[in-house]
Every structure is written in C-alpha cells, then in structure tokens.
Amino acid sequence: MKNFIFASLLILISLQTSQAQILKCGDHPYRQHLIKKYPGIEDHMHAPNDRNASRSNDVYRIPVVVHVVYNATEENVSDAIVRSQIDILNQDFRRQNTDASKTRDVFKGVAGDAMIEFYLADTDPNGNPTSGITRKKTNKKSFIEFDILLLFQASIACGVDFNDPASIEENMECIQAFFEANGSSFEDILGGIDNVKYADKGGTDPWDQKKYLNIWVCNLALDVLGEQVPFVLGFAYPPVGAPLFPPGSLPEGYEVNDGVVIHYPVFGINNPGIGNLAGLNDKGRTCTHEVGHYLGLRHIWGDGDCTVDDGIADTPDADDSSQAEDPSITCESLFTKNTCSEIATQFPDMIENYMDYSKEECMNMFSQGQINMMRSMLEGPRAELIGLPASVGSVEKNGFFVFPNPTGNELNINYESPGQYEIAIIDILGKTVYNGRSDVSRIDVSGLNNGVYFLQAMGEHQAFSARFTIQK
C-alpha cells in the first residue's frame, strides 16, 4: 500500500480578528492576488454557468445508493437520517447551506455554487423501483481490523505518531520493514476497510459504479480492549486518472472499490450515535468532504507542507490540516491560522473549505477552482453518472466541440463554421500552453500533463471555448 493511501484515509480522524470591511465581489483582495499571481486565471474563476464552463446551463444530478451495513441496532441509521445527508450534500454543493454567509470576506470572491445535485436512486440496476437505500445486518463488529499490539510496537520502533499523516509518511519504509519482519504486511494495518463493499466479506456489493454513487454507512471504529474508538470517519477513492493525484499515489486496481464509506455516527443530521464526536463532526460534512475526494479533489494543504500544493490555484497554501480536537475551540480562533506566507501578501488558511479537516461548523464553501475540477470529472471519467457517454465532447456552442474528452494524446476539434481561427490552450492556472491556427483539426497534447484545460478558438466574427481533461 502506498504511503499516500494511509495518510488520505485519515480523513477527518477524531480521537478526540477584527471585523473585516465588507467588500464588493470584484474587489476581494484574495481574488485580486490570484489574478496578479496567475495571469489569465480571471477568465476561469466564474461560476459554472458562465461562458467558460462547459455545458454551461446544466445542473449535474447524481443518483445515489446508500448501503447501510450494521451489527448493533444504533448502526442501522434511519431513512430520515439518510435523507438528511442527501439534503446536506445538495445544500453544500449548491451553496445553499445556511452558513454560506459565514465565509470570510477575503474568500467570498472565489466561493461558488458547483451546480451539482444528488438524489436517492429511484431505479435499481435491474430497472426495478427502489428507495435508493439497502440494508444488511453483518456479523462484523467493525470494518477496521488490525493487530493493535503490532501497530503499537511499530509506532515505538519507528518513532511514529499514527495521528499525524506527515509522521506516517516520513517513516513509511521503517513501518513496512517492521511489519514484514513480523510476518505481516502494511496492508494488514487497514485490513478489512474495503470489505464493506463485498457481500461475501460481510458487506454489500455495489451497484453499477459507473452509474451510481455508492455510499456505504458502517462501523469504522477501532475496538481497543472492548471499547469503540473513532479511527477513520470516512474515505473515498478519486476517479481513475484524476489529475490532482500523483502517479503511484493510489494502488493498482483501486477502481474496483470505487465509492464512499462513512462511519455511521457522523452520517446525516441528528444522528443518535454521534457520542463524543458531537461538536466536531455532527453537521454531515464528513460526507461532503468524501464526495469531494470522489469527484477528484485533494485536501487543501496537499497532504504536505507549504511546499506541496493541492493543484487548485484559488486555495491558499497551508502546511497542515486545521483539525480541532476540542469541541470548545471556536471557528473564530481557527480563522486566525496562517501557516504559509504568500509572496508580497499573506492570506489565512482556508479553514471554511470542505476539503480541510476543520470543525464541521466552520466548513461552508468550495472554491471555483475546486468546482471546475469536480465538474470536469463529471464530464470525463464520471460522465456516466450524469447520463453522458463515457467519452463526450465539451460543447460550448452547437456544432463546436472537442473530442475525445478526456484525452491522452490527441485532441480533435469540430468547428461550427468554416474559417480561420487562432487556437490557444490554457491550463487551469491561466498559463497558455499551446498556440496555433485552425487549419489543423487535430492537436498533439501528449506533451501536456494530466489536468483540466481550456481551448479557445478566436475567429474574425466568432469565438468559441471548451473545457477538456487530459488523462493518461
């Protein structure tokens, strides 16, 4: 298992200023900083319904099936709790959450509506009516299964703090060697965590993962001497080839386990099993965070220090998560964090971003860059979720499109009207990476890195643009 996996699975782990001047949208200092830092980015910072977003008028609706896998009665979350979680997802992704107004002024200019919605599936893979909820009683007390003693011994031998992803990453070779020397493997640390996705291993088989977002709700606590200790609150895998995740950061064949898994007490609102996670992870945002991963987003601190980026231009650098372990810690106190310095100007850590580890009551936004990435994943590797073919042109105007999308080597262009066009390809940071003319309808993009790009065609009387993804 790659070291990134263990760090990324510690998602929302819990063992647990002065009044800013109100500014007009276009005057937000952070937005102006981004425009200065990344020339050209302004054209791609608008909401998804503007001229630069592909399929501009579409709200993407994703069918969801929730698999409730339970042992104890309290793990069998009610239909009402399931529906509350779907409501939370819709509010958060459409920026209709009641706390959207709490986004700090400095970041309001980059916060936006993703125009992505979720609904419980009404038809199962066989075409039969369904509630979109399945239930199974399992003999598994938890889907976190490993030798706690061996883990403790590894932590001592290697000097590892297993609550700190950076410590795990720095000592990975030592951890792996320790487990091998004791006749085990590092995979055994998280043995069973994906078993919830298999009926013959105590879980529930997924529905067609290309056409449904599968969410499993189960017990992910660690049994320590008979006591249930919260360990992993949720995890998810990104789309195959997601450009923000470096090659080798995820295990080969991981797509067979595609979907989202949530620890049952933090699923939905008013969950009676919340226990000592109340005040930290009781707003249903663990699921929002994990669905963000599912749609291609990394943690906003890039799972590293200030030298590591999450690949999204409009999320400021941070050297660590902002997780609060004490419910009494206020959002206002977290808002004072500024762990990395920007050139010329300093901006605080984006504590309110759903892809941080902050208290859930402090979370209230996705950035426009994150929105662009998620929508591009729904137009590429996850296109079938929203009823698009697996490979689809990003149509900006009838008759003008690029294909295939996503592409790895060549990009084909179909023009609505014959004529000469100046062609430019711009990356998500606003940098022009290709210039040419439309006397060719095929562009070699094999030299470009994985990621989201914008193609612009400028003619004498017309101009077109399309967004596409390079995925090798």
Q: What is the DSSP letter of 397?
A: B
CA 117 to chain centre: 15
Distances (CA, A) of 429 to 290, 372, 425, 446: 25, 12, 12, 19
H/E element holding 436?
strand 432-437
The answer to whether 186 and 193 are in contact (CB under 8 A) is no
Distance CA 457, CA 324 (A): 48
The answer to whether 309 and 323 are in contact (CB under 8 A) is no
Q: 3-class DSSP state for residue 443?
A: strand
Distance CA 119, CA 133 (A): 11
Distances (CA, A) of 424 to 331, 399, 421, 454, 457: 43, 19, 10, 8, 7
Q: Which of 290, 352, 361, 396 is catalytic?
A: 290
Q: Are strands 60-70 and 133-137 parallel, antiparallel or unpaired?
A: parallel
Distance CA 49, CA 54 (A): 9
Q: 3-class DSSP state for residue 453?
A: strand
Q: 3-class DSSP state for residue 61?
A: strand
Among candidates 250, 252, 343, 369, which has minimal Cα distance to 303? 250
Own/partner contacts of 301-310, CB < 8 Å, gap of 24 or more, are 301/349, 301/356, 303/4, 303/7, 303/8, 303/165, 304/166, 305/166, 306/339, 306/340, 306/341, 310/244, 310/355
Beta strands in 80-220 (DSSP E): 116-120, 133-137, 213-218
Q: Establish how many alpha carbons lie within 13 A of residue 466's alpha carbon, considering only the half-sphere containing its beta carbon.
A: 26
Among candidates 460, 385, 468, which has minimal Cα distance to 426? 468
Task: For the beta carbon of residue 322, count every other beta carbon within 10 angstroms.
Answer: 24
Can 410 be counted among the known catalytic residues?
A: no
Residues tagged active-site = 290
